[in-house]
């Protein structure tokens, strides 16, 4: 499957990149083609025009690149920190630039925080946004507490529990990836 991991934090000391690399490694090991859209690399402007508001092919280069990846994706993993109990602006800014690229595809949320609660509050907020964007959210959330200590910068688990916990999360996501891909082949309502 083609999977796009979306991560938004522009902080110089950001920790969530470790979690993004962890899930990219795990999905790649299972044979998926995984791409990362990272706010720091893509540097999308603070929302002016959505991608669809540009003439075809005239959007800024990195917005066009993100559009192509999202359009070709079979599903998305949203890697989200918790800022004041909600969604980091840099992540929401990426999400808001696109729309139909997400439709009829599943999303899985990996939430994290520096503290013990693993960003569960942002995961609940995200669900409302992800449904509005048409990327159905799978039931399981993958919360990571004390993210700074959970993985190294290459995305290897320091806390080995994450290696076993992630299997069920990915298997569930794969089920939805397959189910919705088959159904998209049969046709979409709009
Ligand atoms: C603006 C801001 C707000 C935060 N709010 C919360 C919060 O509500 N709950 C929480 O558990 N951690 C909170 N934190 C701590 C983050 O969980 C921690 O800094 C995490 O590493 C942020 O993700 P990032 O490093 O990928 O940017 C906050 C951090 C920032 C910078």
How confident is the model over 159-181, as pLDDT tens digits? 999 999 999 999 999 999 999 99
Mean pLDDT, to the nearest integer, of 92-115?
98
Centroid of ligand 1 to alpha carbon of 83 (angstroms): 5
**High-pLDDT (> 90) share of the chain, %:** 99
Q: How far is Cα 53 from Cα 75, in angstroms, rounded to an integer? A: 23
Centroid of ligand 1 to alpha carbon of 115 (angstroms): 9
Centroid of ligand 1 to alpha carbon of 16 (angstroms): 10
Q: How far apart are the first and last CA of the chain?
A: 22
pTM of the model: 0.98
pLDDT at 152: 97
pLDDT category at 77 given cuts 50, 70, 90 is: very high
Question: Which letter does DSSP use for residue 86 in this model?
Answer: B
pLDDT at 180: 98
Domains along the sequence of the chain with CATH = 2-186 (3.40.50.360)
pLDDT at 26: 98
114 ligand 1 Cβ < 6 A? yes
Nearest ligand 1 atom to the CA of 9 is 27
Mean pLDDT, to the nearest integer, of 83-94?
98
């Amino acid at each position: 499957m083609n999977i796009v991991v979306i991560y938004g934090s522009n902080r110089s000391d950001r920790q969530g990149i470790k979690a993004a690399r962890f899930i990219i490694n795990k999905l790649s090991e299972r044979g998926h083609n995984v791409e990362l859209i990272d706010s720091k690399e893509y540097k999308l402007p603070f929302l002016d025009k959505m991608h669809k508001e540009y003439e075809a092919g005239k959007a800024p280069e990195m917005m066009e690149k993100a559009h192509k990846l999202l359009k070709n994706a079979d599903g998305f993993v949203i890697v989200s920190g918790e800022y004041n109990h909600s969604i980091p602006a840099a992540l929401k800014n990426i999400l808001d630039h696109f729309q139909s690229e997400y439709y009829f595809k599943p999303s899985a949320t990996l939430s994290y925080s520096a503290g013990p609660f693993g960003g569960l509050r942002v995961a609940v907020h995200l669900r409302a946004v992800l449904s509005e964007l048409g990327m159905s959210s799978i039931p399981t959330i993958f919360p990571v507490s004390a993210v700074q200590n959970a993985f190294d910068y290459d995305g290897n688990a320091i806390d080995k529990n994450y290696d076993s916990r992630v299997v069920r999360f990915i298997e569930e996501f794969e089920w939805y990836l397959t189910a919705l891909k088959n159904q998209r082949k049969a046709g979409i309502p709009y």
